[in-house]
Structure 1
Amino acid sequence: MSKSLQAIRGMNDILPEQTPLWRYFESTVARLCDNYGYKQIRTPIVEFTELFKRSIGEVTDIVEKEMYTFEDRNGDSLTLRPEGTAACVRAVLEHGITGGGQTQKMWYIGPMYRHERPQKGRYRQFHQIGCEVFNLDGPDIDAELIVLTWRLWGQLGIRDAVKLELNSLGTSESRGRYREALVEYLSAHLDKLDEDSQRRLKTNPLRVLDTKNADTQAVLVDAPKMADYLDDESRTHFEGLKARLDAAGIPYVINPKLVRGLDYYSKTVFEWVTDKLGAQGTVCAGGRYDGLVEQMGGKPTTGVGFAMGIERLILLLETLEQVPEEISRQVDVYLCAFGEAAELAALALSEKVRDQLPNLRLQINAGAGSFKSQFKKADKSGALYALILGDDELAQQVIGFKPLRGQGEQQNIAFDALAAHLATCVVQG
């Protein structure tokens, strides 16, 4: 017997009973982005490998160990996108939409791919929503991105479960001075560093700050601090950001070890973290990448953005029981019809109702069946009400209206009054 077909490890199906919550989350974020003046961009899921090597950095874990890279029939090296910022930068360069200092505020949504060890909240195909802003260099836009996410947490009912962590990485010059001091300090304690940190010390020493190893964390207690090496411009920018967050009433903590896992960040970096999901605590992260566009071959163009993991935020909503009740109900009204004539009339009547109530979720029974079986389907659908149409009702030009989720007697409603009655019971109630 051949092996049964199944999804690739770490790449999961999102089943019909799960998608309503995904759609609720995605539409909430999309509406919020629209309200803040961000326009959607859609980029391919496959890019030339060189794009990510140049943007993310060849000595990052993503490029070294996690990317899905393959050679196509033309001999080109292609990669499934591991993150969204690089593709957005490539797009604005290719289409020239940031030329002449044009400001661009955009958002994106879609799957990303990294070959990691699958675990709860961390998958090989995962989904992100992100925002990117180009040609605005002040702390005000950094603050706006954070304020936007703060408002989102409020709309989702999870503000009490997340915490904002901030840091500034300074400019490339100040970061270079800090890197030298950090390497000098850590080299004097080499025997106390874990194997991974020893490797990173030679390739990407700032990533040592992000270690989860307890022994290495103990060494870092007395390590040089990034704040002591910040240039005046970065320090002023960071103070401006904090002042705006204070004015907006958004609480935060300064985390001097926050460096992010991508090489292109500078100045502001931030993460929204939670302690409700175990080890996978980061639900949204981002920062400023003022040198990335130039690094990719464009003219000097400032940039700042964030990305949030949809799977983790969906999991957080479920963990905190913040799933709106109506999300689990995908049908408002279930129409049961008995007999050929009633089925034909039900089809015509339902379409007239849909014309008048386009937001009504009305399902007609398919596959015929007895009174008992159709009512069983109506109940299983989660509908609030059942409509009943048989030969007797058809002869009187009425339809039975029966509450399924609460008290109330069945009553007959005239065909021409049905839409108005449903508007009162369902659409407005």
Structure 2
Amino acid sequence: MTESSTQQLMDSLLANKAAVNLANTADKNEALALMADRLLDHEAEIIAANQLDLEKAKGQIPDVMLDRLRLTPDRLAGMASGIRALIDLPDPVGRLLGEHTADNGLKIEKRSVPFGLIGMIYESRPNVTSDVAALALKSGNAALLRSGKDAFNSANAIMQALKAGLAKSKISPKVIELVQDTSRQSSTEMMTARGKIDLLIPRGGRGLIRAVVDNAKVPVIETGTGICHIYVNKAANLDEAVKITANAKMSRPSVCNAAEVCLVDQEVAADFLPRLAAAFAGKVEMRADERAKEFLPEAKAAGPDDFDTEFLDYIMAIKVVDGIEEAIDHIAKHSTHHSEAIVTEDQAAADRFTQAVDSAAVYVNASTRFTDGGEFGLGCELGISTQKMHARGPMGLNELNSYKYIVRGQGQVRE
């Protein structure tokens, strides 16, 4: 039986992965600089390819999703900056994570090592192509990327630019590849590639993530959807609360760290909610529960699913609560464990919230929009992990390494 193109790429990556698994820091940093340079050199080709994707997507996806797909010279410059930021970060490979000497004299070290071959399945996010390729390279991993068909032309043009950079470096361009087949078969092949793909990461909507988590036979890190909450406590500075909530919802609603739900204490609802409505006027559709509707007569009544929906749009669900415990309970029942924020001047309330809320990032008096690898000083990111094993929150270089034990003896044998 003839191997598929995806299988052939996996075999090629496995044959060439030592070129990056064993590369030294200087060679990896030189390669990153060249990749960033070529990304900008190929700006015209990448923008033209992106226009093809945008034209195909018009009328098929909402405008806010078109914005997520769109590339501009400024966004390309930001992608190149994200690659360059990795150059200044410590090499995660070979870090000493722990050491001790056993009673029998064995010297035991725990050191970080690359996973080997990382797979990424993603949709409608062309910037993921450069982010993942750069992170994989600096962390010593080969990478197989599978873009959704909506962004394929953009992703392919980006990959060609990155490979052109690698071709001028000491590291083979064959350590990063983009799957050319955007059918379901290629995703299935990656999900079932036991013995080939060491770690698989999905990044996209709930349907994609659930399909990978449910069907993969290789190890998976689950990147979560973002039903993120802003809780306006009764001790909040309401000017700050309006500013934070508006930023969390409106600055870029199509991303996973945008807030989808606002909870507000009954004591301040009459003052806060009309001010929030003024900030949202003509821009954000508010869907209010029964008590919030008293202060938001123009808002739509919240439906049964509105507090469990990642809108990724200019829509926000609003609920009035009777204090911090009800807010914490609501978040526990409806959150996807991504990012939540409390706005308060009460330190005890802030401490209670941060201790009780079980999410990857918990904020006090700040927007959830900061849950991002670049904002956290990690360079670019693979995504936001909402699981608890190995990686949680923005995933950067360290999350792309596993570890092994190195044991040094002097002839010891076990009795």
| TM-score normalised to structure 1 length | 0.24
Q: Highest CA radius of gyration, 1 or 2? A: 1
**Higher RCO (CA-CA < 8 Å; seq separation 6+):** 2
| TM-score normalised to structure 2 length | 0.25
